[in-house]
């Protein structure tokens, strides 16, 4: 049987261990082409390059036999998907898979995530897409327990389809070498970041700021991604990119806007 074609990308950069692991997992079930940033792009959200030049080149990182085609891109994760679909691939892929991100993209983190914005960009183009993240920020994080689950999720999505206007946000708990307990389909937990800026002074006397903060969970529900992850389960949140707050339209229509 002909293998599906999957476009891979990430936001940690083309050499990141999370992406290198994802390539190995996806090669077992699909033909793979990689278009990923040439440097880390974490926290870029859905930024795209519109006022600067964009560069891409073919690269060889894995020299083993059967290594996939890989292209580095000077832009953001969303740029990588746009470029991959419009210029690099000669046909429409069956799916776009982004990750594996070093660190959580659950709850409110999805808003800032370059990993998930790449998946959303594919979804906007009508292509099924999944973003994978491991809740471990370490560069040398252990991705070995992710493989079987990632392959299962991708195969099920290819077989059954992902509803139009939706992409999947998959987060894998850090389990210290043990496999996750399973997969739970969840809603996004309500949470926020209690942020502050650490004000510092450079050796030359110039003041600068470093953003820091603490994650604040505001949701006690047991049907959320944060709860699933805390119990050792993989969370999978169907994520839409129609940002309309449909439930508030009637309320705002009651305003006297045209009087």
47 vs 102: CA distance, rounded Å:
19
Q: Parallel, antiparallel, or unpaired for β 95-102 and 129-134?
A: parallel
42 is in an annotated binding site: yes
> How many angstroms separate the CA atoms of 248 and 216, rounded?
26
Check: CB of residue 44 under 8 Å from CB of residue 114. yes
Would the annotation count 11 as a binding residue?
yes
Q: Which helix (H) or strand (E) holds 65?
A: none
Report d(CA 1, CA 102) in Å as an integer: 33
Distance separating alpha carbons of residues 245 and 252, to the nearest angstrom: 11
CA 237/CA 89 separation, integer angstroms: 28
Please name the residue ranges forming H helices in the chain. Answer: 17-27, 77-83, 114-124, 147-160, 225-230, 249-253
* Residues tagged in the binding site annotation: 11-12, 42, 101
* Residues tagged in the binding site annotation for a divalent metal cation: 11-12, 42, 101
């Amino acid at each position: 049987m002909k293998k599906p074609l999957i476009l891979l990308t990430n936001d940690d950069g083309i050499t990141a261990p999370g992406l290198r692991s994802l390539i190995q997992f996806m090669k077992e079930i699909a033909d793979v082409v990689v278009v990923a940033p040439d440097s880390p792009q974490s926290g870029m959200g859905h930024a795209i390059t519109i006022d600067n030049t964009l560069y891409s080149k073919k690269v060889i990182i894995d020299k083993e036999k059967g290594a996939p085609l890989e292209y580095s891109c000077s832009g953001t994760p969303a740029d990588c998907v746009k470029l991959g679909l419009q210029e690099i691939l000669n046909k429409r892929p069956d799916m776009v898979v982004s990750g594996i991100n070093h660190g959580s993209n659950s709850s409110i983190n999805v808003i800032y995530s370059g990993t998930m914005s790449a998946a959303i960009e594919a979804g906007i183009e009508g292509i099924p897409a999944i973003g994978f993240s491991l809740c471990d920020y370490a560069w040398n994080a252990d991705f070995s327990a992710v493989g079987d689950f990632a392959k299962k999720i991708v195969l099920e999505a290819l077989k059954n389809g992902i509803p139009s206007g939706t992409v999947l946000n998959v987060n894998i708990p850090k389990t210290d070498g043990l496999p996750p307990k399973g997969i739970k389909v969840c809603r996004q937990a309500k949470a926020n970041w209690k942020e502050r800026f650490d004000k510092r002074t450079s050796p030359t006397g110039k003041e600068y700021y470093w953003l820091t903060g603490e994650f604040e969970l505001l949701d006690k529900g047991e049907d959320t991604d944060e709860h699933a992850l805390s119990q050792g389960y993989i969370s999978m949140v169907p994520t839409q990119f129609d940002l309309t707050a449909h439930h508030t339209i009637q309320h705002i229509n009651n305003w006297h806007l045209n009087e």
